[in-house]
Amino acid sequence: MQTLPDAHGYFGPYGGMFVPETLMTPLRDLAEEYERARVDPQFQADLAALLGDFAGRPTKLYFAERLTAKLGGAKIYLKREDLLHTGAHKINNALGQILLAQRMGKRRIIAETGAGQHGVATATAAARFGCECIVYMGAVDMKRQALNVARMKFLGAKVVPVTAGAATLKEAINEAMRDWVTNVRDTFYILGSALGSHPYPMMVRDFHRVIGVEARKQMLEREGRLPDLLVACVGGGSNAIGLFHPFLEDEDVKMVGVEAGGEGTLEGQKHAARFFGGKLGVLQGTKTFLLADDDGQILITHSVSAGLDYAAVGPEHSNLRDVGRADYVYATDDEALAAFHELSRTEGIIPALETAHAVAHAMRIAPTMGKDEIILVNLSGRGDKDVQQVAEMEHVPLKR
């Protein structure tokens, strides 16, 4: 399983390179350069130094003692990606890709962003390397995520509003791809999740594998054994695959990815649970499970967390589900909000709303497991960015 994808970028029947002809050569160049970088000790040393000194790795493995006691079942550990610079796992990938851009001599960086977290991580990496940075963002998202727009601007990035269609993430990706086609000679596209055309799903996964590699070692040191269950939220699937991948050969370690159930998958289409009601299709470079109508038109998704609100899931997850190596469930908006508050009050850790979906599933499942069992939850990000949104939803006054 470690060797996937194949040479054409397929994880079983999923993945591939579904892009316009003009992007085939740059994508092949990127795949080749990445293959060289991956086995280059200097590249790996540079990346490790950046992750350590700049991003703050290794992140802690933390025993959630009070949450565990309250739920009365399995021991719950948290992998603290929320403690990283810029507040989430996304910086792992942004730093990996910007190093690759330097290797390829490309000094103009573009990215897409939905909630703004990947845009912030990319703008941070670009500032660190003195690169020009352009971030495409849906006009609707820019309004919803004004704080992250300001952060990107302070970091020196240009944020370009995209007004087409629903003016959210999908349209922003289309614009970024259009820019890349036009400016491919000097431009590097830093893609934000384990999605898109080959080699991105593999490359993004590899840059996040450090999460699982560290967690595996830390768990062995701490408990003398591996966890029984891994839990992570799944938007495109990058934090989840980063945690899961180093455990794939450990047959006794179960893994669950948690999608955004929105208002519930039975009450219409206000959700982003691609494995519940989704179908096989192609979107933005990759063949995978996605939410589309009978004519193949991509549906508008919904989640309380902008980072899980996308119509397609990373192709490697589709394959892990097919072969039965990982299970996928969903948590609703309400369950995620309840988990957001529970972790905040019980452990003193305010999680991102995306992350709260994983916490919600751990809260559901821990009481059904034995006290000698262990759950490891990937705490993908911190909730600072979501404080205003939750306060408004719950009518908590922010001004006197």
Ligand X SMILES: *Cc1c(COP(=O)(O)O)cnc(C)c1O
Q: Which residues bind ligand X (CB under 6 A)?
A: 88, 90, 117, 193, 233-240, 307-308, 352, 354-355, 380-381
- Ranked by CB distance to ligand X, the top (closest) residue is 381
Please choose, from the candidates 168, 162, 172, 103, the residue with its C-alpha nearest in 3D space to the C-alpha of residue 131: 103
Between the CA of residue 59 and those of 52, 87, 383, what are the distances in Å?
Answer: 9, 12, 17
By beta-carbon proximity to ligand X, the closer residue of 125 and 184 is 125
Q: Quote the least distance from Cβ 374 to ligand X, whole Å.
A: 22
Per the annotation, the verdict on 90 as an active-site residue is yes
Q: Where are the beta strands (DSSP E) in 285-373?
A: 285-290, 327-332
CB of 398 to ligand X, least distance (A): 22
H/E segment holding residue 88:
none
Per DSSP, what are the bridge partners of residue 285?
18
Diameter over CA atoms, the chain: 59
Q: How far apart are CA 15 and CA 311, in angstroms?
A: 15
Which residue lies nearer to ligand X by CB, 155 or 369? Answer: 155
> In the complex with ligand X, which residue's Cβ is closer, 179 or 354?
354
Beta carbon of residue 47, minimum distance to ligand X (angstroms, whole number): 19
Least distance (Å) between residue 223 CB and ligand X: 25
239 or 318: CB nearest ligand X: 239
Question: 90, 106, 170, 287: which is the annotated catalytic residue?
Answer: 90
State the Cα–Cα distance between residues 218 and 366, nearest whole angstrom: 21
Q: Is 112 a catalytic residue?
A: yes
CA distances from 49 to 54, 120, 181, 363 (A): 8, 20, 32, 36
DSSP 385: G
CB-nearer residue toward ligand X: 106 or 354: 354
Type of residue at 184: V
| Closest approach of ligand X to the CB of residue 315, in Å | 13
Is residue 132 part of the annotated active site? The answer reads: no
Strand segments (E) across the chain: 10-11, 14-18, 61-63, 75-79, 108-113, 132-138, 158-162, 187-189, 229-233, 254-262, 279-283, 285-290, 327-332, 374-378
Catalytic residue among 75, 79, 81, 112: 112
C-alpha angle with apex 24: 311 to 14, nearest 5 degrees? 40
Give me the catalytic one of 238, 305, 318, 380.
380
CB of 208 to ligand X, least distance (A): 8
Amino acid of residue 202: M
Which of the residues are catalytic? Answer: 90, 112, 380
